[in-house]
Structure 1
């Protein structure tokens, strides 16, 4: 099953928990990364659990009008909104993951950079943050992002462009060279 396409796994996952697990294992790293950057590490695990339950419940009714990954990203965004609505003061990044390093200065620099990036990302308007996250963190194509967000392709391009420009300005203002 590991080598099956998403479509094959999706068809089988409606009958088999094993296929569902393979399908979700394939996509969960990107789901978790997106959730982490939209709601913070502390809430990301809860969002991922919500996504798993929602996808499992909605699997039989998924018509396949869009790609599975497109639908999954929409479910993830909805779960992120739900988490943010429940706790509007949710921190974007609780404590940064640090790479293994024996150099405390290097670890401190990475922590500082991640904190500044998290802060800048949190400053973006929600529509730009979504579009940039789907492109840069989930590596979706522009057309896929348009489907996930339910907007025109030009709108996606504009949001990503404006979001990147805003991030660049915020990071320069904070003394980070993007």
Structure 2
């Protein structure tokens, strides 16, 4: 979901049925997950991988007591789950429009199969009528590759300590 103060520039949510299926799939492999809506992140549990996934971004993930309500009533754009590459197919099994992207070997992001950072960049550039040649993007993970290829100037940053303290 890409938006500004006035408009939704691009809206590409996960299908409700796919979200429910992936919750079941994650339960089968004993993994909690977090869902991202336009306004919040809600988790149905926290394991060490999911905790560290969010800690990398400076967030202390907590279990949402209203997780089922969020999944039932809100639009879900992304699912985050601690896992390994061997779990990817199991997580998206029996879904209609979902794919796994990853930037860390202990977790995955699940998004619509028709979406990506690259697609989002295209929509935003089109909305603001910015030529691709004038766009720049920075990325440091495998999930950034399509975005870096979409813009006129893509900068791949090297690996560094993601959990740095103080000045990073």
Report the TM range for the smaller structure's normalisation: under 0.3
Q: Which has the higher helix share?
A: 1
Q: Which has the higher strand share?
A: 2
The normalised TM-score by structure 1 is 0.25
Higher gyration radius (CA): 1
